[in-house]
Every structure is written in C-alpha cells, then in structure tokens.
C-alpha cells in the first residue's frame, strides 16, 4: 500500500514537473533537430544495438518528451511511423509544435509507460531516452514493453544514469556551484532567477524528486532479462563529455541566459561534441560501462 502510494506520487510529480518544464526544455538541454541532432541520435542507437539501426516500420517511444529521439529518427529515415508517448501532456504539446515546425506528422498519446494503451505485438521497435530512471515500477514497465513489441522486434534505451557515473559527476557539479559567482563576474553575466530553466521557482522544487533510479549495468540488464527479452546488451557512454557538460550546464544554470556571451555557448557546445568523440573513439571501448555517466540497454523479443 505504502509502496503504491509512493509510486503514484512519483508519477504525479513527474507529470507536473515536466508539464512546467516543457516550454524551456529544448533550450535547457540544447536539443537539436538538424543534422547534428540526427547524427547524435542515430549514433547512440547504433552504439546501443551494436549495428546501424532500422529501418523500422512502426516505433513506439516512451517518455518521448519534446521529441528528441523520435523526430530525429523519422527525419533520418530510421523510423517510418512514430508513436510518441509521455506521462506529461505538456511535453507532448511541445513535441507536436516541434513536429509541425519540421513538417513531420507523428501520433502522440499521453500515458504512463507502465500501462500502455496499445495492442499486443503492435510495434517493430520500442525505444526511449533518459526515461527509465523516472519509472517507479521498472519490472512492470519492461513487461509492458515486451507485450507491445512483435516477436523478433527490437528495443533500445539510452541516456540512463549509471550509479557510479552519477556519483563521480557530483564533483564537477559541486565545483561549478562554487565557481559560479566568479564565472559570472568574468563573463559579465547576470544571476538567474531561481528555476528559470524549469518553468519557474515553484516548478523547480520538484526537479530533485523526479529521478528515482541510477543503475549498475547488471541491474539494467536484469530488468530486461526478467521481462523475457533476449540478446540483452548494456553499454556505457560519455565520461569526459559528461564532466565537461555538467560543469558548464551548472555554471550556465546560475546565469540569465540572455546575458551569457555567445562565444561561451559556442565553446561549451563544440567542446562537448569534441569530448564525446574522444570518449567514443578512445574510452568507451576500453573501460567498463559502469564508470560512464550514461548507460544504454538493448535487446529483442524472442
């Protein structure tokens, strides 16, 4: 009883927080729907799967947010028909506005990933990015994902925080909080209003309550295997890029975005892309997944 009450609160807080954060979400996370965004998303899937992805006739995304994965995958020709779901109607409104701006047509359905309103075996591909760590009942969610996927169909999730990587990332975040006043002075940036990138101070208070898991690679694979998926593989990505990214995002979150110089934004963006390449070419093949910030998991329905 207590556990299910807690699960209900987690879902409610996720819906409320993401509804409030939806309008500023793409700017906060630097989400791109051009060639760079497409390359990033296709590259992440290729890493998760161990081969080039798709093409998939009909795909379901859970926790689709503003459309980062699905809209880029449709544009890249990896997915033909995308059904985008999320617990937050506000995020799906922004997703539809993004789709309209790109001239794309996608179906959106507001629903909980743990209770999907779709027929059995109705998708060729099921995916998500940065969503599993928000779900209170992961065993239930993976059972639902298996149910709606056709036999032989593929699933892939990326952007899930690793427990060890998350712990390591607290150091650059803390250092950046301490350095923020000096950084703003040097760049002549003005302090931000609290929660400006999360839809205001009231909404910002929920930010810490929406993330409910960080994973070890074995735990993440365990959820998929227990549900009945086969050929389950877990990979890690982003080490240097995540330290660099978290430092800069924490500094930038302390400032009014309109007063942060363009040259800084360019440096942060290009530096992040460069370090992602260093991680990909040098570190991800050599180091164990557990130390990277992000985990990805993929497999297929037997």
Q: Which residues bind ligand SAM (CB under 6 A)?
A: 11, 14, 18, 62-65, 68-69, 86-88, 91, 112-113, 129-131, 134-135, 159
Taking the complex as a whole, the smallest distance from the CB of residue 10 to ligand SAM amounts, in Å, to 8
Is 14 or 248 the residue whose CB approaches ligand SAM more closely? 14
Is 111 or 179 the residue whose CB approaches ligand SAM more closely? 111
Taking the complex as a whole, the smallest distance from the CB of residue 183 to ligand SAM amounts, in Å, to 25
DSSP states of 136-198 as a string?
S-HHHHHHHHHHHEEEEEEEEEEEEEBHHHHHHHHHHHHHHHHHHHHHHHHHTPPBPPTTGGG
Taking the complex as a whole, the smallest distance from the CB of residue 132 to ligand SAM amounts, in Å, to 9
Name the residue with the smallest CB distance to ligand SAM. 65
> In DSSP terms, which residues pair with 155 in a beta bridge?
126, 299
Is 68 or 292 the residue whose CB approaches ligand SAM more closely? 68
Cβ-Cβ contacts under 8 Å for 184 (sequence gap 6 or more): 190, 191, 254, 255
Taking the complex as a whole, the smallest distance from the CB of residue 279 to ligand SAM amounts, in Å, to 18
Q: Cis bond leading into 55, ω under 30°?
A: yes
Q: What share of the chain is helix, strand, coil (3-state, %, to 5)?
A: 55, 20, 25
Taking the complex as a whole, the smallest distance from the CB of residue 45 to ligand SAM amounts, in Å, to 13
Is 86 or 284 the residue whose CB approaches ligand SAM more closely? 86
- Say how far residue 249 (Cα) sits from the centre of its chain: 15
Is 73 or 260 the residue whose CB approaches ligand SAM more closely? 73
């Amino acid at each position: 009883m207590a556990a299910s009450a807690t699960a209900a609160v987690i879902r409610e807080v996720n819906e409320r927080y993401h509804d409030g954060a939806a309008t500023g979400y793409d700017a906060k996370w630097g989400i791109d729907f051009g060639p760079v965004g497409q390359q990033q998303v296709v590259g992440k899937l290729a890493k998760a799967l161990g081969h080039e992805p798709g093409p998939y006739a009909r795909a379901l995304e859970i926790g689709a947010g503003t459309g980062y994965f699905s809209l880029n995958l449709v544009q890249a020709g990896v997915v033909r028909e995308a059904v985008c779901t999320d617990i937050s109607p506000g995020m799906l409104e922004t997703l539809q506005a993004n789709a309209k701006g790109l001239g794309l047509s996608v179906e959106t359905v507001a629903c909980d990933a743990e209770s999907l309103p779709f027929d059995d075996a109705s998708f060729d591909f099921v995916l998500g990015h940065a969503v599993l760590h928000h779900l209170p009942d992961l065993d239930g969610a993976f059972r639902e994902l298996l149910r709606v996927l056709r036999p032989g169909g593929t699933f892939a999730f990326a952007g899930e925080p690793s427990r060890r990587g998350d712990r390591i990332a607290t150091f650059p975040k803390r250092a950046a909080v301490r350095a923020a006043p000096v950084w703003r002075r040097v760049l002549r940036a003005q302090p931000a209003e609290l929660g400006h990138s999360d839809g205001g101070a009231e909404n910002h208070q929920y930010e810490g309550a929406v993330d409910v898991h960080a994973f070890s690679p074995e735990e993440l694979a365990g959820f998929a295997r227990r549900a009945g998926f086969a050929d389950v593989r877990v990979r890690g990505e982003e080490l240097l890029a995540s330290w660099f990214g978290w430092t800069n995002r924490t500094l930038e979150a302390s400032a009014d975005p309109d007063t942060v110089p363009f040259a800084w934004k360019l440096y942060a963006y290009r530096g992040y892309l460069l370090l992602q390449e260093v991680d990909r070419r040098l570190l991800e093949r050599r180091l164990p997944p557990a130390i990277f910030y992000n985990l990805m998991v993929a497999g297929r329905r037997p």
